Amino acid sequence: MNGTQDDRNGAIIWIGRISATIGIFAALEALTQVGVISAVVFPPPSKIAVELARLLGTSHFWGDAGRTLIELVLSCVFGLPAGVIIGIALAASTTARDVFEPYLVTLYAIPTVVFYPILLALMGLGSGPIIAIAAFMVMVPVALNTIVAITGVSSQLIKLSRSLRCTPLQRIWKIVLPSSAPVLFAGVKLGIMYGIVGTISMEFILADKGIGFRVGNEYNNFAILSMWAHIAVIVVFAMAISAALDQVERRLRMDLQ
């Protein structure tokens, strides 16, 4: 019964999202066609869709997309495990958490882009500094959520693991991680989305290739239609990743119930 209800709710959510997307698309199309929104600043969505279809048939677009995807994947490969490990380490020690958690919170609030001159001097232009900054943006929210997730585990479960003489690794693997999985995955989801932000924004500044680089390049060359087509790619990609992660999170919560 619960599964059927969840499926029904999921279908309603998807219908609502699709309807909202169509409504926004239609409203923007109407506003640009009648001149309320200048077509010089924002072309009609129908023209953006045509330009996007053209871009999908070009080799340079897929080269840019491949570069951005590789940078994003590598930033998550480095940032996600680092965030989880740091979060577990700080959650395991009250003293360490009291000392270092304020630094993590501060780093979470600071725009990471401020560090790019240092990385530019150390690593030069290209993918290196982009991956480093994006991985850092992934790591911080994952670490903070990991701390919250693990410290929120029931003390009764911890006492039970001690009475069963579990080793620290067994306690983490068998009790802590399953109990904290929903909050932990929420941090992973947030970290991945921050990774997208970090990768695209750093490509504006440090890249010679990639979707973010192409948006900035088209803007500088006054190719507004192509610029918005690349922005549409970013929006669709981010929405697809978010939707996929939502499905994984929903399945995870159902399995743990």
Is the residue at 37 inside a domain?
yes
Q: Are residues 20 and 78 in the same domain?
A: no
Q: Are residues 136 and 186 in the same domain?
A: yes
Q: Are residues 33 and 85 in the same domain?
A: no
Q: Are residues 75 and 117 in the same domain?
A: yes
Q: Are residues 115 and 215 in the same domain?
A: yes
Q: What is the pLDDT of residue 255?
A: 65
Q: Are residues 28 and 82 in the same domain?
A: no
Closest CA to 202 of 110, 133, 111, 139: 133
Q: What is the pLDDT of residue 23?
A: 92
Q: Are residues 228 and 133 in the same domain?
A: yes
Is the residue at 51 inside a domain?
no
Q: Which domain holds residue 148?
A: 57-256
- Axis crossing angle, helix 45-55 with helix 2-34, rounded to the nearest 10: 110
Closest CA to 90 of 79, 75, 104, 77: 104
| Average pLDDT value over all residues in the chain | 86
Q: What is the pLDDT of residue 79?
A: 95
Is the residue at 48 inside a domain?
no
Please give the C-alpha separations between residue 231 and each of 24, 74, 133, 176, 236, in angstroms, as whole numbers: 16, 22, 21, 40, 9
Is the residue at 49 inside a domain?
no
CB of 127 closer than 8 Å to CB of 67: yes
pLDDT mean for each 10 residues of the chain (257 residues): 60 82 90 87 92 92 94 96 92 88 86 76 79 92 91 78 77 77 88 94 87 92 93 93 86 69
Please name the residue that has the structure tokens 């924002």: 42
| Alpha helix (H) residue ranges in the chain | 2-34, 45-55, 59-92, 94-109, 116-123, 127-151, 155-163, 168-171, 177-206, 211-220, 224-256
Please give the C-alpha separations between residue 245 and each of 34, 46, 186, 188, in angstroms, as whole numbers: 38, 29, 9, 9
Is the residue at 78 inside a domain?
yes
Is the residue at 52 inside a domain?
no
- Could you tell me the pTM of the whole model? 0.84
Number of other CB atoms surrounding residue 60 within 10 Å: 10
Alpha-carbon span 107 to 193, nearest angstrom: 17
Q: Are residues 228 and 168 in the same domain?
A: yes
Is the residue at 193 inside a domain?
yes
Q: Are residues 195 and 232 in the same domain?
A: yes
Q: Are residues 61 and 87 in the same domain?
A: yes
Q: Are residues 139 and 224 in the same domain?
A: yes
Q: What is the pLDDT of residue 178?
A: 78
Which CATH number is 199's domain given? 1.10.3720.10
Number of domains in the chain: 2
Q: What is the pLDDT of residue 13?
A: 78
Is the residue at 214 inside a domain?
yes
Q: Are residues 12 and 138 in the same domain?
A: no
CB of 92 closer than 8 Å to CB of 165: no
Pair of tokens at residue 89: 């380490």
Pair of tokens at residue 148: 């919250």
